[in-house]
Each structure stands twice: as C-alpha cells, then as structure tokens.
Chain A
Amino acid sequence: MELVLALGFGALVAAGTYMTLARHTLRMVLGLSVIAIAVNMLLFVAGGIGTTTPALIASGADVAAPDSANPLPQALVLTAIVIGFALLAFALVLAYRAHLALRTVDTDAMREAEPVEEGGR
C-alpha cells in the first residue's frame, strides 16, 4: 500500500503546486487547500499505517492497546485541518474582496503595492 499512498501524495503535491502557480487568485487559494490536504496526509502516514484500530481505551481496560493507531499525529492533523480551513476560508473572502476592489482576478494585474514603474518587468 505504501507505494500507492506515496503516488497519491505525489499527485496531490503536483496538482497543488501547479494550481498555486496560477495567475488566478481563486485557483491559487484552492491550490493551497490541495497542498494542505497533502500535508495532512503526510503527517498522518508518517505516524505509521500498520494498524486500523482507533486509539480508544476499551471499557474495562486502563490503557490503549499498544497496536492501536498512533494518537499523536492524529491530534496534530486534527489541529491542522481546522487551522487550514480557517486560513482558506479567510483567503477566499480576501480573494473575493480583492476582485470587488480591483475588478480583476489576475494576480499579475494587482500592482497596487508594487507599481510597474518601480519594480522590474
């Protein structure tokens, strides 16, 4: 399964990179969300994929089974999912606002901060 998962991860990273390089604000933001998904996947897989048992303590037992799933990366990924969502939601609103203010979604046309006559190009 390792090889398959790694291929899936590679596809996510490639697609996310290609999308963030786009000159369209929304594509960029959605590309970031794809990369976020890829990173979450990497974190989770890095904790080991040998088991399918959740890290729960059965009633009657005092400790979780040693072969249960690795709880630490799960906790980290859980935090990452929520934070990534907050960031992307904000970025989406920002992109919409930028479109309203500048009437464009082309990032190269957004030159308020770095006007063409000062920068290179």
Chain B
Amino acid sequence: MLTLPAIVFGALAAAVVAPWTLGRLNPRLLVLVPLAALGALIYITGEVTSADLITHQISWVGSLGVNLSFRIDAFSLLFCWLITGIGALVVFYSASYFSDNPRVKYFTFLILSFMAAMIGAVLSDDVIIFFIFWELTSVISFLLIGFDSTKPEARRAATQSLMITAGGGLALLAGLLLLAQAAGSTQFTVIVGEGARIAELPIYPFALILILAGAFTKSAQLPFQFWLANAMAAPTPASAYLHSATMVKLGIFLLIVLDPAFGSTAIWQTLLIGFGAGTMMVAAGQALRVEGFKSVLAQTTVAALGTLTLLVGLDTPVAAVATVGFFLSHALYKAALFFVAGNAMHATGISSLREMGGLYRALPLTAAAAVVASLSMAGLPPFIGFIAKELLFEAKLAGGLTALVAIALIVNSVLVALAAVVSLRPFYKGPQKPAQLRHRERISLVTPPLILAGMGALLGIIPGLASSVILVDAASAVAGQPVDTKFKLWHGLTPMLGLSVVAVASGALLAWKWRPSHAALSRVETPLLFQTERLSDGLGSLTLALARWVTGMLQHGSLRRYTLVPVAVMLAVLCFAIARNGIAVPELTFNRPYIIGLTIIIILGSGLAALTKSFLAVLIGVGLVGYALGVFFLKNGAPDLAFTQFAVETVFVVIASAIILRLPLTVGDARTKSEKVIDGTLSIAVGGAATVMMLAVLASPLDERVSDYYRLVSLAEAYGRNVVNVIIVDFRALDTLGEIGVVALAALGAFGLMRGLKIRSRKTMS
C-alpha cells in the first residue's frame, strides 16, 4: 500500500515547508497538515481493518538488508489517528496560545515534525527506520522542552530528557540489532513471526533487557520516571502533545508490537508487570505531593504509563482490550486536561494549584471541559474512562494476582482524587474573587479541550461507535488473535463495579482532604530508593567534571606541554621497539677517521645550541652542526647535498641573525630548574633511543633495487649523467614542483608578515 510511505514522507515534507509558507499567511492554516494526514488515514481504514496486517516495502540500502518497509494494523492506525487528530488540535491551540509570540512558526514546525516522526515510527516495519524515527522524536522533544531556552530550568529539563531518552535509545538500538540478527531480518513482521524461536535463544534475555531499557526510558517507567515530570518545563501545548498523548506512548507501542512474539515468556511478564506496578505506585505517591497544575497531570501520566506497561505484560485477551481502551481514553482526557491547565495558567499567570481558585466565572467553558475530562479520568460513567477502568480491573482480576488488584485500586483512588482536585479546586473552590486575569476566555483556546472531552463522553455513551469502527480490530491486533468485544458501558453487577465504587469513594475522601494530606505528604522525604533523579544528576555532573578535567589536561595552552606529549609518545614507541627487538649492532668499520672530528664538532655544536644563554652562541652552534653535516655529505659521495646544505645554512644563519638582533638578546629560557631537569632527562633518553635506532638502521640489509634502476636508466631515458639531479628534475619532477611551491608559499607568507610591519611602522611614524 503506497499510501503509508506517502503519508510518512508527505508529513515530513509538509512539516519542513508549511510553517514558512502557509504559516506566514496564518499559523492557524497549518492545521491543514495534520488534518490531511488524518484524512488519508481515515481513507484507508476499511482496507486496514479488513486485513490483519498490511506491509509495503521500498528497497533502499539493499546491501545492508535495510529497506523502507512499512506496516499498519488496526492498532497502529488507531495510534496514528490520535497522533494526527490531537496534533491538529495542538496546532490550532498553539496558534492562539502563542498569538503574541513571534516564534510560533518555529514551534509549529517542531510540532509538525514531531508528528511526522511519530507517524514514521509507528508505521515503520524496519527496525533501523523505526530507530531513526524514534531518535528523531527524542531530539525534537528536546527542542520542545527547551523551547523557553532563556529559562535555566527548561534547559536543564531538556538536557535531562535527551540524556535519558537518547541513552535508552542506544540500548534499544543494540537490542533491536540483536533481535534482527537472531531473526535474520530487520523487519518487525519477521522478528515477531520468529518470536517463539528467538525466545529460546540464550541471547533473548539480553536483547529483551536492552529493548526494555529503551521502551522504559521513553515511557518514563521506574527508575527513569523523573524526566517526564521535569519535562513540564515545555510550553503547555507541547506537554499536551508529547508528554501525555504521543511520545511517551511510543515506548508502550513498541512493547505492544513485540508482545505477540514474547508476551508468553516468563521474563517478559515478570519485568513488565513488576516495573509497571512499581511505576504506578511511585507516580501515585508523587502525584499527591506536587502542587503545580501541570506537575499533577504529569505524575498521573506516569501512573497511566505504568498501568499500560502492566497491561501489556498481562497475557490475556481482556488485557488487550483494556490496553486499547485505556490507551484511547487516556490520550483523550489527558490532552484535554493539559489544554485546560494551559488555559488556566495562560489567563492567570500562576501555575500552582493551591493558589488558583474560583476561575469558573471567568473561564466557564474551560471549567466545563475540565469537569468532563476529569470525570473520564476518574473513571465515572458514562465516560470512556469508566469503560477503560472496568476493563482494567477485569484484566487484573483475570491475571489472578491479588496484589495487582490492590495496586490498581489504590492508584485509581488517587486518580479519582486528583481528577476532583484538578477540576474543582482551580475553578469552583478557593477565593471567589480570582486574582487579576490577563484575558477572558478565548474561543480558540477552549475548542480543543471541549472537542476532546466531548469525544470522551460520546465514546462512553455510544461505545459501539468506537468498537465497531476500530477498537475490536485494534484489540485483536494487540492480542495477536481475534478477541470478542467487551467494550460497553454496563456489564451488570460485576466485581469490577464493586471495585469502582470503592475506588470512587476512597478517592472522594482523599480529594476532600487534599489540602492537609498534600501538606503532610510534601513534607515527607522521598525514599532514597526512588531518588534516581539525584543519581542521574550526579552521574551527569561527574561526567561534566571529568570532561572539564580531561580538557584542562589536554588543552592547557602551554606549548611546552603540548610538545612534551609527542616527544614522550615517540620515546615510548622507540623504547617498545628496542625492548622487542633488542639492540642491533652493525658490522663496525673504522676507515674514515675524519668522521670522529666531524662528530665532535656536531656534539659540541649541539651542546652549544642547547645549553648557552646567548642567542648568538646558539646560532653559532646550529651553524656549526649544519656545516659539519655539509662536510660529511661532501666527503661521502653527495656533492649536491653538500652545496645545498652550505647555501641553505648560510642563508638561514643570515636570516636568523637579522631577526635575533631585533629581539631581546638577554631573555633566557623561562623554564624553571625542575622543568629543565625533566626536559633534559627526556631529551637525553630520546637521544639515546635515537642512537640505538640509527645503529638498527645501519644493521638492517639495504635493498638497492630502486636505486639501481635509477643508476641504469638515468642516461638512457633522461639523458643526464648526474643521477641525483636526474631523479629530482626528471623522474620525480612533480615532487620537485611541489617543493618549489612550498618554498614560494613560505616566501610569500614571510613577505606578507613583513609587509604588514612596514605599513604599521610608517603609520606610527607619521
């Protein structure tokens, strides 16, 4: 089905282009991009629900076995509906929310690219493509959380989320590659098909843990849950989109995709149920402690994600139905509540729940949306949240673990209480005369939450609407087998209903006593075990300190220490070679006694150059060494070298004297005594190693084949009798041209440096 790549790449292209073209006319027009994607997705609904799974493959990097393959089943279609539908509302909402912010185009660009990346991840069948889109969502989420880049807490939260989710992403990549290797294909469909075989392999537990690390970081499971709470530093439309409805669900989505393959293994069930239940409890506790409007919502999101993880871990058909139902209902009410929170904060300019109150007079429609969405969150009839919660209880009862039922009961009571707190406290309780309002209700800001809350109510009242269109098919896709529908409002007098009544009653009590309980709980220290944020921060600052130390060590700005490093490395390499091969001694001859004299001059010249204070003496030392070498060349069959050496040495000494005379002659070496001792020791060691090296060179046999070739063909091919000259100007003429180029460049450079001086000195004179 060609529609899948068309939707993914079309959304990507539109995200990049539209904000700067369409958005220039009116940012609200950008809502057309997600709506077009949603339209295309609705158009293919019939085709998707009539088939179990549709795949489409475009060959890409065939040699690596990586192809642009896409898949869609009823559940991923449902997820894409949520992504594009809520995406449209977010774009619409942010156009108004940021009406006085010139960066609204950039913000919408981020939201639209995020939407495209999400669709890409959900629809891709290739693990590599999936991973690319997965990381793209992490990066864009980083940019969105840090949107208010002038605020330190936004930057900190953005970095933290990137570290956690991108770090988890690396683990995920390793896990996916292990799976792909085991399955012999990078396609999810093949991996899932081979699931039973892979689960038997010894590699399976490692692959699973790596993948769960990726999914748990993304979906803010214990012990990574803290980044999501801090991510509330993002602008509210971004929070509504990323951190409630879409991005954090991507980890759950991955679990759901792999569930048919590994859902029946014990390690999968243990880990998912354990971490899911733990996350639920911790998040419920945290939710009662925090007081920011968005922080409360964030913690309930973490609890909901824990619930979803747990549900995926339960291997029953009813758990599949519950997963899908809760997935849908949570996306609807949580996005609505974030919009509501955004409205209240936008209008009042305060963010603490304890300071808000009596807003229903000023923001009646927002208050209505808050109440309706909260009722769905609390799981009261006739809202979709009620159906989802009944299913949830049923799945946990069917799971057979009483502890799970107890946890679900506690967490649901907390959700009921917080639903009441976030809908009643800011709007209907507290001071009847609200604080100074920045603006009255704006119709464009209340439409999105009203639509979402209305959807929740509509799907609750007519559950058949959702289940006949997609829910049953989606649940079948999640379960990996056809399931019969249980998606209805009234199940009769079941144990689940009893649990609901208990949850609502205890939640109401908790809400009534919210202020004292909140005050009491916020005084309690978090148990050390759950302070993973401090661990992560500690690791982060340790890494930074290490980086600062290493940079300080390597880039200290001292030329002497920069030079010491290669010298020491060279010495180490030489010592290693000597230690390995021993000291090779060539056949010693003693036929040219004048060489002793030359060597004495060389040694004296070196010593003079290295040790004297006067620069003229240094220059004399260098000159002596050069001339001695020239004499050595002359006497050993290299007259050309000798002449060049004499000429160069003379010119060099002239230039050097000219410059030295312009510099302070008295300034000695600034090294301290101990530095000199270190350098001296090192230099003598290097010199000793060099001596051994030259002996080794002389001891090794000489291969003269190339030289013999030049000796033979010099006259015949190049008509020259001086073999050295023929090599330079004929056989290696190109080399020599390059050499001339270097000399010319050096001369030009020196000329440029000197010329600048003249101009300046003339200016200063006049």
A interface list, Cβ under 8 A from B: 1-24, 26-28, 30-31, 33-34, 37-38, 40-42, 44-49, 51-59, 62-66, 68-72, 74-75, 77-79, 81-83, 85-90, 92-97, 99-100, 105-108, 110-111, 113-116, 119-121
Contact = CB atoms under 8 A, between A and B. Distances in A.
B637 A64 contact: no
Nearest to B740: A82
A6 B691 contact: yes
A2 B559 contact: no
Contacts of B754: 93
B556 A54 contact: no
A63 B718 CA distance: 12
14 contacts: A2-B586, A8-B602, A9-B690, A10-B694, A20-B563, A69-B636, A82-B743, A83-B739, A83-B742, A89-B652, A92-B659, A97-B753, A97-B756, A107-B559
B747 interface: yes
A52 B635 contact: yes
Contact of B560 (A21, A42, A95, A105): A21
Interface stretch (B210-218, B321-329, B661-669): B661-669
Interface in B500-547: none
B610 A89 contact: no
B750 interface: yes
Interface string B713-748: 011100001111001100010011001001101110
Interface stretch (B38-46, B113-121, B471-479, B643-651): B643-651
Contacts of A10: 687-688, 690-691, 694
A75 B727 contact: yes
Contacts, number: 317
A81 B648 contact: yes
Given A7-B691, A51-B637, A56 B722 contact: yes
Q: Is the interface of B mostly helix, strand, loop or mixed?
A: helix
A75 B724 contact: yes
Contacts of B559: 23, 28, 107-108, 110
A72 B676 CA distance: 39
Given A14-B610, A30-B656, A97-B757, 14 more contacts: A2-B587, A10-B691, A13-B686, A21-B567, A22-B670, A26-B663, A31-B610, A51-B636, A56-B721, A56-B723, A71-B723, A87-B742, A97-B756, A108-B560
Given A52-B637, A59-B721, A79-B739, A99 B663 contact: yes
Contact of B655 (A38, A65, A75, A92): A92
B741 to A, nearest CB: 10
A77 B641 contact: yes
B730 to A, nearest CB: 11
B618 interface: yes
B697 A42 contact: yes
B641 A62 contact: no
Interface stretch (B200-208, B220-228, B408-416, B702-710): B702-710
Most buried by A among B599, B637, B757: B637
